[in-house]
């Protein structure tokens, strides 16, 4: 998608906030515990390569991504740190991953068999590094029985083309106050650990939520995801043990301002009707940028005042009701601070009845990212 560099709308990323969040998280980790930055999905909409560079400067010793292409992009950009692909990668790319020293997630013995066949056809100079994923209760990917895990370990030990470097699981409810199911998953994971004859270099269970509220079972590696970007994994359901600094702001300008009379209709479907003489401003972005159509009725900030979104959000524009006439070019803040008031990603998510992860990840490349420097 083409970036809109000639349009007054941009996402501003505070790299110092990201750096501070990582350094704060590291300061709270148990001894001998590494932090790997989760930079999947274009670093949760913040920018893959820029966030990875900041994370490396801040002390992250590795990266986690969702798909092999994200890992390859990091390698092509010159990052040499360990990289783990958290999703299941087709075995046909086993040799490619091995050549690039990228660790792949394995959740079945059948995958290992297929990968070995590929490595036999296209041998790599390096063994393929793998992390065993355990389904301790998430129900997504991973070994579901300790006996199956033990058989897979035996298979890996018999083939020099494979190198077991990690064992991990993912918790379904680590961000919830009720820890009953979380404790069940911890118990199940311990049974899987016992099934292995030798534990690999990395044993990790901690995503952001686990690292924040369940440090006792953090293993020796934390996969820091949404907290890296200054966001509370639970939304607002649980208080944070230490402060986080949100890194993303979304700003634009008024591109058109008009006064309408009572009864005037605004937008597709004429879903808004002015109740009196009103000032209406047009904002130059829409759902094609990731500002979702369901945000009609929400608000933005203009000169420190909350201005309601009126009418349906269009693909490329939306309209707001202004308290007074403002000149074209006046700053409009969709996410961030303006005139002493703040709109957070969580505020947007609450209105949209979703989570802030989705809001951040939905911002498209048409919105250019501007990066504030680290200190």
Query: What is the set of active-site residues?
Result: 40, 268
Radius of gyration of the chain measured on its C-alpha atoms: 24
* Torsion over CA: 305, 311, 313, 314 (sign): negative
Specify the 3-state DSSP secondary structure of 285. coil
Question: Nearest 5 degrees, angle CA 199-CA 202-CA 205?
Answer: 100
Tell me how far apart the alpha carbons of residues 309 and 255 are, in angstroms, rounded to a whole number: 15
Q: What is the DSSP letter of 227?
A: G
Q: Count CB neighbours of 319 within 10 A.
A: 24
CB 229 within 8 A of CB 44: yes
Q: How far apart are CA 85 and CA 127, in angstroms?
A: 16
As annotated, the binding site for substrate includes 140, 315
Determine contact, residues 358/368, Cβ cutoff 8 Å: no
Place of tokens 């400067």: 57
Q: Length of the chain, please?
A: 375
Q: How far apart are alpha carbons 174 and 275 in whole angstroms?
A: 47
Give residue 35's Cα distance to chain centre: 15
Integer Cα distance of 42 and 51 in angstroms = 9
Helix (H, G, I), strand (E, B) or coil at 218: coil
User: Cβ(118)–Cβ(94) under 8 Å?
Assistant: yes
Q: What angle do CA 335, 362, 334 make, to 5 degrees?
A: 15
CB 174 within 8 Å of CB 210: yes
Instruction: Tell me the C-alpha to C-alpha distance, in Å, between residue 55 and each of 18, 21, 74, 374.
Output: 7, 10, 13, 11
């Amino acid at each position: 998608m083409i970036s809109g560099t000639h349009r007054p709308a941009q996402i501003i990323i505070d790299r110092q906030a990201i750096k501070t969040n990582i350094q704060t998280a590291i300061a709270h980790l148990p001894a001998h515990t590494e932090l790997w930055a989760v930079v999947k999905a274009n670093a949760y909409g913040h920018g893959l390569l820029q966030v990875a560079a900041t994370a490396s400067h801040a002390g992250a010793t590795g990266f986690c991504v969702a798909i092999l292409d994200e890992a390859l992009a990091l390698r092509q950009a010159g990052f040499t740190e360990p990289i783990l692909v958290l999703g299941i990668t087709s075995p046909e790319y086993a040799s490619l991953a091995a050549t690039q020293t990228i660790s792949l997630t394995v959740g079945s013995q059948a995958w290992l068999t297929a990968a070995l066949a590929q490595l036999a056809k296209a041998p790599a100079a390096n063994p393929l590094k793998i992390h065993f994923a355990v389904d301790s209760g998430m129900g997504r990917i991973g070994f579901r029985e300790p006996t199956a895990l033990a058989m897979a370990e035996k298979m890996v030990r018999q083939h020099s083309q494979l190198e077991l470097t990690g064992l991990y699981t993912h918790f379904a409810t680590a961000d919830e106050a009720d820890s009953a199911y979380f404790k069940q998953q911890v118990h199940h994971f311990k049974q899987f650990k016992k099934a292995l004859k030798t534990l690999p270099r990395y044993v990790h269970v901690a995503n952001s939520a686990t690292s924040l509220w369940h440090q006792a079972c953090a293993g020796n590696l934390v996969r820091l995801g949404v907290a890296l970007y200054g966001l509370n994994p639970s939304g607002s359901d649980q208080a944070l043990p230490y402060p986080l600094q949100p890194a993303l702001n979304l700003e634009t300008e008024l591109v058109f301002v008009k006064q309408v009379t009572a009864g005037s209709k605004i937008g597709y479907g004429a879903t808004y009707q002015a109740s009196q003489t009103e000032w209406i401003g047009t904002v130059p972005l829409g759902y094609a940028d990731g500002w979702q159509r369901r945000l009609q009725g929400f608000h933005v900030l203009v000169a420190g005042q909350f201005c309601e979104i009126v009418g349906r959000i269009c693909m490329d524009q939306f309209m707001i009701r202004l308290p007074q006439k403002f000149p074209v070019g006046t700053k409009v803040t969709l996410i961030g601070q303006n005139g002493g008031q703040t709109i957070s990603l969580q505020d947007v998510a609450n209105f949209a009845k979703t989570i802030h992860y989705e809001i951040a990840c939905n911002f498209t490349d048409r919105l250019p990212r501007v990066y504030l420097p680290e200190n």
